[in-house]
Amino acid sequence: MLSSVSMLLPSILLTRRTSKELSRKHTFSKHGRIPGRDFAGTVVIGPKQYIGKSVWGTGGQNGFEQDGSHAEYVTVHQDYLSVMEMPCNLSFLQAASCGVGFLTATMMVGKAAPKEGEHVLILGSSGAVGTACKQLVKLAGAVSVETSRKGGDGFINITEDLPSQIKSATAGKGIIAVLDTVGDTTLFKNVIIIASKSPGFLFTFNALAFYRNNLSMHGINTLPVSFLQAVQELAKLKKGFEDGVLAPPASIDEVELQDERAVIAATRR
């Protein structure tokens, strides 16, 4: 296997991929490329000081301009190794499951920039991105307000009166940001109505009320984020994982890549 990569440039190292994450996002990969963005593994070719080191990564050109992490090996620039060391308390499987979810959450919470004691409404708080958002909001000292279609202790029921529930959950303070990790159009409309204090909606919305309340809307897309930028963001989270402040997904489905049916089923869950 290694003979096939004997022509690697000096500036490239080779990481044997031990675990990778499966995601619907991989359908964006270019035709003819092996897909996959997130990975964790061991360095097998590169500068001596890095051989055998456990590393993780996500994003960038993986699966687009070069084969992604569903391949057995992943190539990355050797200069990036200083920021790719895996949290020492995570398994390869756990580390490989954090990439895009935490990268997206970092960008979302970074845009919201919540301060200590402020409240943030998270739509889809039980998913990979939503769970990461909750942790990062807490890390900032702010408070997450979670939603559910069934309600329950600590949750807002999105099928019932939202304004009164938000007022109650925040002791009248209200929310400073909405993090939509779901993409549910109807739910998002309702939240915008609440935020802009306007009953009118066309799926456009009442822009006058929106800007008079000094609101802003941001779209988050991890696809343009370079590999270096992505691993730098992961590096900022490393201590949080090692200190137990941040945690990988609690439930991780492990499947063999050769089992096509299992792979398809996993990406649809």
Q: What is the pLDDT along the chain (269 residues), one digit of tens a residue?
A: 222 222 233 334 455 555 555 554 444 555 667 778 899 988 888 888 999 899 999 987 777 777 777 778 888 888 899 999 999 999 999 999 999 999 999 999 999 999 999 999 898 888 899 999 999 999 999 999 998 776 666 788 877 777 888 888 899 888 888 898 887 666 666 666 665 554 443 344 566 777 787 877 788 888 889 999 999 999 999 999 999 999 999 888 777 777 778 877 777 76
Cα separation of 269 and 258, whole Å?
18
Task: Outline where DSSP puts E strands in the chain.
Answer: 12-20, 39-45, 54-57, 73-77, 119-123, 143-148, 155-157, 177-180
Q: What is the CA radius of gyration of the chain?
A: 21
Q: Read off the pTM.
A: 0.80
Write out the two tokens for 183: 């993409």
Side-chain-facing half-sphere of 145: CA atoms under 13 Å: 27
